Amino acid sequence: MKRLLLISLIFIAACGSGSGTSSSSGFAGAALTFQTEKGLSDEWYSWLISRQSYYLEAYNRGRGDRTVRVEISYDSDIAWDSEEEHFAALKTLAELQFPGWSFTFSASDSDADVRAVLGYTGVSSYANLSTDTIYLIYEGIFAHELGHILGLYHHYCGNDVSTPCSESPPDEGKCIMGRSAASWGPTEQFLLNLTGESDEDAILSQMGYIYTNSYP
């Protein structure tokens, strides 16, 4: 029951949109290698290749330095005694969800890649791609909204997360971009160049720790 509540908190209304970039060298070959390694279907490969231009930004970002500097601000009070502990908890969560990537969280960072507004009081969490800012009602949605900034898209159509549609990768199973898990499916594991799969239970446990401290 507690776990269900946690998952529902994680996936409360999230959205965003974006665009791809140029340079596709290596994408198809790398996707084929990944498909073979993971035993994914030919349908998965065809689905991904048909969206190659759409996903190039995320693919290229995953072949970059895989570091993300996050500058934190607040839209409402969040009850942590220590901001240092809060940022450390966010870093632990992010690095559990993005294995192989490295994160820094701070209150002031002129070189930040992303700004995150915590305790957001608006109607839903979202990503503003033109300012690289994510607005989070609950911090557990961080990975999903950052995903939009990195060039990822929903695996569902409209607001219907339960019915497979053209944006659902074949054979994928659960994924953060499907709002059906706290870890990534194989499409994002490939695009973001993640080093292995995440431990879903460890992620949910860390989210629980953050919620317990942030939202009494």
CB atoms under 10 Å from CB of 73, counted, come to 12
Q: Which is nearer to Zn ion, 15 or 79 (CB)?
A: 15
165 binds Zn ion (CB under 5 A): no
Among residues 15 and 107, whose Cβ is nearest to Zn ion? 15
Q: Which of 3, 5, 13, 15 binds Zn ion (CB under 5 A)?
A: 15
Looking at the Cβ atoms of 16 and 62, the one nearer to Zn ion is: 16
Among candidate residues 189, 211, 81, 201, the one with its CA nearest the CA of residue 142:
211
Eight-class DSSP state of 70: E
Contact 122, 135 (CB under 8 A): yes
Candidates 6, 10, 11, 14; binder of Zn ion (CB under 5 A) is 14
Six-digit token string for 185: 């499916």
The owner of tokens 């005694």 is: 81
CB of 126 to Zn ion, least distance (A): 7
Q: Which stretch binds Zn ion (CB under 5 A): 8-16, 35-43, 82-90, 195-203?
A: 8-16
**Closest chain position to Zn ion (CB):** 14
CA 114 to CA 126: how far, in whole Å?
Answer: 13
Binding region for Zn ion (CB under 5 A): 14-16
